[in-house]
Chains A and B, each alone.
Chain A
Amino acid sequence: MSGDEGLPVSPAEEASPVPPAQEARREAIAFVVAAASWLVPGLGHALLKMWGRAVICFLTVGVLVWVGAGMRGNLFNSRGNDAFDSLGYLADLGTGGFYWVAKGLETNGPDVSRADGDYGTRFLATAGVFNLLAALHAYEVARGRKV
């Protein structure tokens, strides 16, 4: 494999370029997939017909939110006092629709005076960050950069 001057040419350079219209359409679909994946964990992968990953994403976020709320972890809101509260809110928002499920589950409110509540806070934040990671994965798959 070589170019006109005998220089090696990578497969990407050899491949015919994707038409801009098709590229824009693919980008739009990828955004929709990522948004769906954020709103309902696993939905993005389900739209891409990756059933195993869809079920695992849904169950992972669901279990983490369920256990986190059961341990009475702190679910941050938009009225944070400092940067850590704001970051916690962003992480919790990452769970998408499960944010409101967690709010509904925590009928007695958070209790971080015990280690359990502190662990619960981490479980809830991890659920959100994991869901954002899963949404990014679904976006990359939809763009054709990952399998």
Chain B
Amino acid sequence: MTAWSLIGLLSAMIAMKLSHFQALVVFALVISIAFGFLGRRRPIDRVKYILWTLLLFLLIGVGIGWAMYPFSH
């Protein structure tokens, strides 16, 4: 099996269907963890930063979603 066919197999495995909210959660979680590790050094500071960023991502994302709701009809 060549490397590219292995990648093709992986690609078939990840052909995923995520709901809007699931995509938001995955995005917020990954970016929050990355920012926490990049922006802070002490473990406790990292945890606080990750949780705070995640909360803001989700709150603002859902908030913007509701703000756009009237225009979807």
- Chain A interface residues toward B at CB < 8 A: 52-53, 56-57, 60, 63-64, 66-67, 69-72, 101, 104-108, 115-116, 119, 122-123, 126, 130, 133-134, 137, 147
Contact A104-B11, Cβ < 8 Å, known A53-B38, A126-B31? yes
Contact A101-B20, Cβ < 8 Å, known A67-B14, A67-B26, A137-B38? no
- Chain B interface residues toward A at CB < 8 A: 4, 7-8, 10-12, 14-18, 20, 23, 26-27, 30-31, 33-34, 37-38, 41
Contact A70 B14 (CB under 8 A): yes
Contact A101 B31 (CB under 8 A): no
Contact B4 A104 (CB under 8 A): yes
Does more than half of chain A's interface fall in helix, strand or loop, or is it mixed? Answer: helix
Contact A70-B37, Cβ < 8 Å, known A60-B30, A126-B27? no
For A56, the chain B residues whose CB sits under 8 A away are: 33-34, 37-38
Nearest B residue to A138 via CB reads: B38
A116→B16 CA distance, assembly (Å)? 9
- A128 CB, nearest partner CB in chain B, Å: 13
Which residue of B11, B20, B31 is within 8 Å of A105 (Cβ)? Answer: B11
Which residue of A57, A71, A126 is within 8 Å of B16 (Cβ)? Answer: A71
Contact A134 B38 (CB under 8 A): yes
Contact A57-B34, Cβ < 8 Å, known A105-B7, A107-B8? yes
